Amino acid sequence: MTVLHTPVLSAEILDWLRIRPEGTYADATVGTGGHILEIAKRLTTGRVLGLDRDPRALQIARERLGPHERQVILVHVEFSKIGEVAAANQLPPFDGIIADLGISSLELDSPERGFSFRWAGPLDMRMNPDNPLTADEIVNQWPEKELADLLYQNAEERDSRRIARAIVRARPIRDTEHLATVVAGGRKARGRQRLHPATKTFLALRTAVNREEEELGQFLSRTPATLNLGGRLIVLSYHSLEDRVVKHAFQRLSHEGFRILTKKVIQPGDAEIASNPRARSAKLRVIERVATAETRFDGERTAPQVC
């Protein structure tokens, strides 16, 4: 049975995009096609570019988008390459771009992908199966100090040193279930916890395997230049470190010809969380291009306002 990801804050994203039937849009993280499908439905002569590094998810999206194939371009590539892909396809500047940084249900609910601690699966965690680095290499080969540093830096795991020590002593770690058990035993007891003891460890490993921090930094640095005047960039993040990177990038861009539209971060309401619990940590931020690249912002405008 095909696992379809439930798109988070879909109605809000469509409102912020202000889709024009003839416009040009991009979904930088297509997944199984939830958000891009809603965009494609609203286009006539317009186009929407979809990117994803997970070939299995992209194939599902391609099948779902069959009735709208004239409006859609799908490319198997990392989302940081959006500028190169747009240029290769001779697309005009984008009127709107969305990037949902969450891991999809297709990945979480497929034991053979190794993303979840809910069952025994291989220590893989690769979104793109062509990538050489796996979680197994990190867990079973990295030195204890490097492993501890990774857990702390990528997931703010307070027990990083204790967990790294436990992992090294338990090597070889056989699978995701074994890893989760070792991590739980290595953590300091703190009473009842809201999250599973292995949540942060799995997050740290996943982000390292997929170079998520580096990819996000490149995406936020390169993508704004691909936006049309009045174009909007919408980013959905799911943990504090990720959201912090987005927030700081948007603050920098607010001095470089962009306007932050979400002064207060947008989060799912109780009804959406009840129907889709994985949406509970989502945070949505939106920025809009309000000036050309030639317009400078250092307290005073040195070029006419164009918004």
Quick check: is 261 in a domain? yes
The single-letter DSSP state of residue 6 is P
If asked whether residues 32 and 174 sit together in one domain, one would say no
Residue pair 45/22 in contact by the 8 Å Cβ criterion: yes
What would the pLDDT profile of 152-186 be if each residue is shown by its tens digit? 999 999 999 999 999 999 999 999 999 999 999 99
How far CA 125 is from CA of 203, 292, 305, in Å, comes to: 10, 40, 47
Position 258 in a domain: yes
For the chain, the 3-state helix, strand and coil shares in percent, each to the nearest 5, are: 45, 15, 40
Q: Please give the Cα distance from 18 to 232 (Å, whole number).
A: 9
Kindly state whether residues 38 and 79 are assigned to the same domain. Answer: yes
* Residue 89 within any structural domain of the chain: yes
The string of pLDDT tens digits covering residues 115-136 is: 999 999 999 999 999 999 999 9
What are the pLDDT digits (tens) for 196-251? 899 999 999 999 999 999 999 999 999 999 999 999 999 999 999 999 999 999 99
The model's pTM is 0.90
In this structure, the answer to whether residues 25 and 47 fall within a common structural domain is: yes
Q: What is the CATH number of the domain that holds 185?
A: 1.10.150.170
What is the spatial distance between Cα 283 and Cα 301, in angstroms, rounded to a whole number?
A: 32
What pLDDT is attached to residue 202? 97
**For residue 220, is it within any domain?**
yes
Whether 113 is covered by a domain: the verdict is no
- Boundary of a domain, candidates 175, 209, 243: 209
294, pLDDT greater than 90? no
At 179-198, the pLDDT tens digits run 999 999 998 877 667 788 99
Task: Answer yes or no: do 173 and 44 share one domain.
Answer: no
- pLDDT recorded at residue 150: 98
Instruction: Return the CA Rg of the chain.
Output: 20
Q: Kindly state whether residues 227 and 296 are assigned to the same domain.
A: yes
Using alpha carbons, list the distances in angstroms from residue 273 to 30, 89, 182, 270, 282. Answer: 21, 38, 30, 5, 10
DSSP 8-state assignment for residue 277: G
So what's the pLDDT on residue 188? 82
**Assigned domain for 173 exists:** yes
- Which residue, of 209, 243, 270, is where some domain finishes? 209
The letter for the amino acid at 19 is I
Whichever domain contains 221, its CATH number is 3.40.50.150
Domain span at residue 17 reads: 10-106+213-301
Domains in the chain, number: 2
- For residue 292, being part of any structural domain is answered with yes
